[in-house]
Structure 1
Amino acid sequence: MSGYRKLDVWNEAHKLTLDIYRVTATFPNEEKFGLISQIRRASSSIPTNIAEGQGRSNNKEFANFVRIAKGSASEVEYLIYLCYELGYLNKIQFVNLNRQIERILGMLSNLISSLYKYTKS
């Protein structure tokens, strides 16, 4: 098993990506190349950047990729809200996805702090 798959934050981000793919499968067809594509790319960017960063040679590079993942997570946070406001997500879906992304954002922040501490020591 690859090292990144052992990270709790990667597992949470992967689960979120799967959930995003599932809920967007029910979105209107007219959003296929717009909102569906954008939120899927942004959500999959989170675990992808964690995996790529973990494969780098040092903690400083890893932290940079985790920062990119955090930016993508912030993008997903907004897109979840937009989907809800447009009526594509019901209240339960919105609350569940929002809870997931908030947790992931916190985990990413903690990982960045941790990586920078090890970089300085």
Structure 2
Amino acid sequence: MAFKFEKLKVWQKALDLADEIDKMTKFFPKEEVYVLTSQAKRAADSISMNIAEGSTGQSNPEFKKFLGYALRSDIEVVNCLHLALRRGYITEEIFRKHYQACEEVLIMISALIKSLN
């Protein structure tokens, strides 16, 4: 692996989460394609993208800034999960599974931020 971010477990976990959100949204109604489906997928993808972008060739303060963006994207995914549950697009079981994955990513990003201080 040539890039620093590829070795980060949090980046790998964020990729897994993005894949799971992508799979989940395939079952959303067609009227949500340009709304909740798009938003959930973009937010989930943004987590790993910000980790990658901030990690390579950046100072620690700059990397922390990008990790903050990744953290906010993770929280955005959680909000999308709540909306999907309320609208009846996902079950409580699916909600809990992805919510837990978001919590794990949040904890990992927070720990990485602390390690850069």
Q: Same fold (TM over 0.5)?
A: yes
Q: Which TM-score tier does this pair reach, normalised by the shorter chain? A: over 0.9
User: 2:113 and 2:57 mapped to 1: Cα distance?
Assistant: 15
Q: Counterpart in 2 of 1:16?
A: 17
Q: What is the CA-CA distance between 1:56 and the residue it aligns to?
A: 3.0
Q: Deviations over 1:23-44 (max 9, x none)?
A: 1011100000000000100110
Q: Counterpart in 2 of 1:102?
A: 103
TM normalised by structure 1 equals 0.92
Q: Which runs of 4+ in 1 moved over 6 A?
A: none
State the percentage of identical aligned residues.
Answer: 39
Q: Mind listing any 5+ residue stretches in structure 2 that lack a counterpart?
A: none
User: 2:57 and 2:63 mapped to 1: Cα distance?
Assistant: 6
Write out aligned runs for 1:1-121 (5 A): 1=1, 2-115=3-116, 117=117
Q: Mind listing any 5+ residue stretches in structure 1 that lack a counterpart?
A: none
Root-mean-square deviation (CA, aligned residues, Å) is 0.9
The number of residues matched between the two structures is: 116
User: 1:40 and 1:56 mapped to 2: Cα distance?
Assistant: 27
